[in-house]
Structures are given as structure tokens and as C-alpha cells.
Chain A
């Protein structure tokens, strides 16, 4: 993995990185990928892919409205609100 890969992933994840750290992250991540590479060589035919470490399945919720309106409470913690909207830096296509 190159420094440029790290920079790209950091950008996608909105993580601030120092250029001086990229080299180190790249080598650490490469070590992890090498481990994955080793595992890829194992014969996994007949092994069920794991999507969750718990061997349970999803419990389902009845379709009932249980959440009251708590807008005022939630908006007290927001930096900026107006007319019931949360305000953010302008986003427009």
C-alpha cells in the first residue's frame, strides 16, 4: 500500500492526516493486508461466510410508532437551528 492510497482513504473517511504519518500508516496497513493475503491462501470451501461474530439472527420489531417528538430537546444540542431545521454550511448541486 502506498502513501497515496492512505491519503485517499483518509480523505474518503474525512480523517485529517499529517503528510509525515502517511508512510508509517502505509506500512502498518500493508502488514494487515499481508495477513489477509495469508488467510486468502487457506482452503475455505465449505466454510460459511461470517457476517457477524454472534451466531444469532435479527429480532424484528412490530411496526408501531413508539418515539414521541423530542425536537426541542435534540435541537438544544445543535450548534445552529432555524424554523425547525438544523443548519449546516450551504450544500447545493
Chain B
């Protein structure tokens, strides 16, 4: 039987603020346990939450970026459940009236087509603390609770069940990840848990309109795991359905080590959260002026910039996609083009050598050891024929190692291209004199040996001879006899 896959994602992204969503405690990652948990975060009696304006601005920015309506009036609600990392016994979230309404994003599919994915809503909420299980804590019989993360502002972004494959789900998650970083509302750091994905997935007979029973896979913190978890889950559900079984609606956890999803039985009965409006918080009112002020400095959005790069610089769709991977990458590119006036050359170097080096060193472009100005210095030497493309790679290595600017490296390493006809002439003659047999062969019509001569001359010049001149002079000399 053929099955259609239906996937919807709930993405929790941590908002970039100095203080928590309802308290004045700091949000810095990596502090000692409970050093950033104040009375409000601990849920001590008598405390009251006060909403952080920056968290609201971030939500408004996101809503605007996905073309969603910002609710003029939204309401905070209590989501009730018991867990030790949630000291109040409820999480402050939004339920019936979220701040961001329906919007949409476009994802790029593998075949180059685009698909529009609906975003149902996005709402503000507080994060919970963390439970730590270490052998030494309480003699290994107790769990430790760190409430530093409790009260950290989150935006939960809920998609429509519009995704039809693990590939689409990953493309959508990457799109949201790119967007929240692009507009500066989240650092999107997945290792630190700033971007976590819950996936709802179900199968239905191909062509059917009714949704099958879904399972929810919680807390996935990498795109690779998202893909693998969904693939596993599709297989699992298909096997059950084809054996005539039924899917149990439940929460599952992806175990990367075993590459499988497992039922989290303990969470099943907790699915009745008894939401009600939080009496400690008044309704949130957002007017046009607030939206205007919050979004005044939003940068050009990725799709618009991608289209512009193609249009303005004649870049390929692939280059434009890579270069708009992050705002920092796009800025780097535009700064470089401004200095070297050759978009294709700049794009090749940024998506090629620079991207490869950054990738290898596991660095973001923000932390690139080679600045746009330094790259421009290198590209200019290629453009004025001082160095060949091959030598340029050596110069780039020098830039990466911090050996100074391109000109300094070219001088220090003696890499200037030889464009002096006389100098190349004598190299050509020397090579021909040393290889009379090959000269004979070439003149007898075996043109394949031409490559051999080019290689020898380049070797003699230590790669510095201008390749076009070498070709020209070799042809003349070999033909001339």
C-alpha cells in the first residue's frame, strides 16, 4: 500500500534578551547552577511576573517577517503540569490568543522548486529549568535541578501539517532557523538548546483527506537527527499499519545512539494541561506604533535578498542560496563585491575556498580570520594578473594563517606571477632542450604531449608563470622548429 506522510513541526526558539521573559534575572548561557534563578523563576510565594518588552518586540519582528497578523490583543495562559524543573506547577504560555497569527514561509526543495508552508501561529512562553542526573548527586539516588534556564523567553512556532517528507521538514526547520538568526531574534545555537524541534507525524493512505493518528517526537536538537527520527518513525508507523495495527497517539523521544524513537510513557497522562488565562498577567496590547517601532530596523529578508543577488549581480540560484544562508554571509559578499566589482569572482571565493575553510575549522563567517577587505586585496591581485588562480589559493592560506595582507604574503613568499615574455621564453627553451624526444613526438603529430610541456614549464617556474603566456609561447616554439 502507498502511504502519504504528514508532518507538522513545533519549533521552540530562544529569544535573544538580556533578562528573562517575566523576571530581571540574567539569561547568559553556561552560568553556575542556579546563579541566574531569582525568586520569580523559583516560583516563590508572592512573586509576580512582569513581561519583558524585548521578548514582545522579537515576536512582532518574527510575525512581520512571515507576513502574519500581529494580534492587537493577546493573552497569557497557564499550562498546568508537574515536573521538578517547573517549580510553579505551571508554565506561562499562550493558548487561545497567541501574539502571532497565521503566516507562511517558502522552502526550497531539492529539485529547485519552492513550496509554501503555512505557519499556524507563534506564541510567547517561558522555558523550564533543567534536570541533571549525575552519579555523584545525592549519592546517585537523587536528581539535581538547575533553574537558570527557567523563565528564559521562547517563541514557539507552530507549522501547519503541510510537510510531506523528512526532506521538507528539514528544509522548513532550516528556513525558520535561518530566519530567526537573520532578523536577530535568536542566536539559534542548537548545541545550547536555543533551537529545539518537536515533530508531529502521521501516515494516511495515499490520496486520503483524513489525517491518521500522529505521534509526537520531542526535543530534537539537530537537523540531522530530525531527518533520521522522521525516517525511523515513518518506517515504524508503516510497519504497524501494514500489519493491520493502529498507531497510539503518544510522545516519543529520539535516541541518536540507537537511531530509533521510543515511547515516553511517563508523559502520556500529562497531556491534559487544563489551560486557563493567567490572572497574574493582563492582556497584552500591541498597536500599530509598537509594530512600526519594533520592525523599523528589520533587514532585507532572505528571499528578497536572494532574488536581488540573482537580479543585480547575475549570480546563479545556487550561489545566491548559499550566500543568503545567513545575514553575515550576505553582508560579507556585498562588502567584497563593493571592493572588487566582480560578483562572480567574489561568489566563487566565498562559496568555495572561504566556505570550505570555515567549515573545516567549524567557524561561522562572523568569526572568519579573513576579512572582506583582505579577500578584496587577494582578488585584486588575481584581477590584475599578478597571481594565477592556483597561486591565489596559497595566498589565501597565508591570509587564513594570519600572515598579513595579500600583497605582503605575495612579496614574502615570492609568489608574483611571471608575465615577462623573455623569462618564460627561456624556461620554454630549457624544457624543450631537456626533452628532445618529446619534441620529436609532438612534431610528428602526437599533440597530447603538449600538456607535458605545459606541466614542465609551470613546474620550473614554481607555478608562477602566467599560464596563458606559457601556452602561447610553447605553441609558437614547438611549431617553429
Q: Is B84 an interface residue (CB 8 A)?
A: yes
Q: Is A46 an interface residue (CB 8 A)?
A: no
Which of B24, B52, B84, B253 is within 8 Å of A91, CB to CB? Answer: B84
Q: Is A80 an interface residue (CB 8 A)?
A: yes
Asked if B283 contacts A57 (CB within 8 A), the reply is yes
Q: Report the contact-size class of chain B (Cβ under 8 Å from the partner).
A: 35 or more
Asked if A71 contacts B37 (CB within 8 A), the reply is yes
Which of A57, A86, A92 is within 8 Å of B285, CB to CB? Answer: A57
Asked if A12 contacts B272 (CB within 8 A), the reply is yes
Within 8 A of A (CB), among B122-141: 131-133, 137-138, 141
A-chain residues with CB within 8 Å of residue B274 when the two chains form the complex: 12
B-chain residues with CB within 8 Å of residue A83 when the two chains form the complex: 33, 137, 144
Contact with A along B42-85 (1 / 0, CB 8 A): 10100000111111100000000000000001010000101110
Asked if B284 contacts A84 (CB within 8 A), the reply is no
- Distance (Å) between the CB of A57 and the closest chain B CB? 4
Q: Interface of B with A (CB < 8 Å)? A: 17-19, 23-26, 32-40, 42, 44, 50-56, 73, 75, 80, 82-84, 89, 97, 131-133, 137-138, 141-147, 253, 264, 266, 269-270, 272, 274, 277, 279, 281-285
Which of B42, B145, B284 is within 8 Å of A74, CB to CB? Answer: B42
B-chain residues with CB within 8 Å of residue A87 when the two chains form the complex: 137-138, 142-145
Asked if A61 contacts B35 (CB within 8 A), the reply is no
Q: Is A24 an interface residue (CB 8 A)?
A: no
Residue ID in chain A nearest B253 by CB atoms: A93
Asked if A86 contacts B138 (CB within 8 A), the reply is no
Q: Is A63 an interface residue (CB 8 A)?
A: yes
Asked if A14 contacts B53 (CB within 8 A), the reply is no
A-B contact pairs, 13 of them (CB 8 A): A12-B269, A58-B51, A58-B283, A58-B285, A59-B51, A60-B52, A63-B55, A74-B39, A74-B42, A84-B34, A87-B142, A87-B143, A90-B141
Within 8 A of B (CB), among A7-28: 11-14
Asked if B143 contacts A84 (CB within 8 A), the reply is no
Which of B25, B39, B82, B284 is within 8 Å of A65, CB to CB? Answer: B25
Give the secondary structure class of A's interface.
loop
B-chain residues with CB within 8 Å of residue A93 when the two chains form the complex: 253, 264, 266
Q: Report the contact-size class of chain A (Cβ under 8 Å from the partner).
A: 35 or more
Distance in angstroms between the alpha carbons of A51 and B253 in the assembled complex: 35
Asked if B83 contacts A60 (CB within 8 A), the reply is no
A-chain residues with CB within 8 Å of residue B283 when the two chains form the complex: 51-52, 57-58
Asked if A63 contacts B19 (CB within 8 A), the reply is yes
Residue ID in chain A nearest B131 by CB atoms: A91
Within 8 A of B (CB), among A30-63: 51-52, 54, 56-63
Residue ID in chain B nearest A61 by CB atoms: B50
Distance in angstroms between the alpha carbons of A59 and B132 in the assembled complex: 35
Asked if A62 contacts B53 (CB within 8 A), the reply is yes
Asked if B53 contacts A90 (CB within 8 A), the reply is no
Distance in angstroms between the alpha carbons of A82 and B140 in the assembled complex: 12
Asked if B54 contacts A67 (CB within 8 A), the reply is no
- Distance (Å) between the CB of B45 and the closest chain A CB? 11
B-chain residues with CB within 8 Å of residue A70 when the two chains form the complex: 38-39
Residue ID in chain A nearest B144 by CB atoms: A85
Distance in angstroms between the alpha carbons of A62 and B340 in the assembled complex: 43
B-chain residues with CB within 8 Å of residue A52 when the two chains form the complex: 75, 277, 279, 281-283
- Distance (Å) between the CB of B178 and the closest chain A CB? 24
Given contacts A52-B277, A65-B24, contact A91 B143 (CB under 8 A): yes
Residue ID in chain A nearest B142 by CB atoms: A87
- Distance (Å) between the CB of A87 and the closest chain B CB? 4
| Interface contacts beyond A61-B19, A63-B52, A67-B24: sample of 9 additional A-B pairs, CB < 8 Å, sorted by A | A52-B75, A52-B283, A63-B55, A82-B138, A83-B144, A85-B132, A90-B142, A92-B143, A93-B264
Contact with B along A68-89 (1 / 0, CB 8 A): 0111001100001011111111
Asked if B33 contacts A61 (CB within 8 A), the reply is no
Asked if B19 contacts A65 (CB within 8 A), the reply is yes
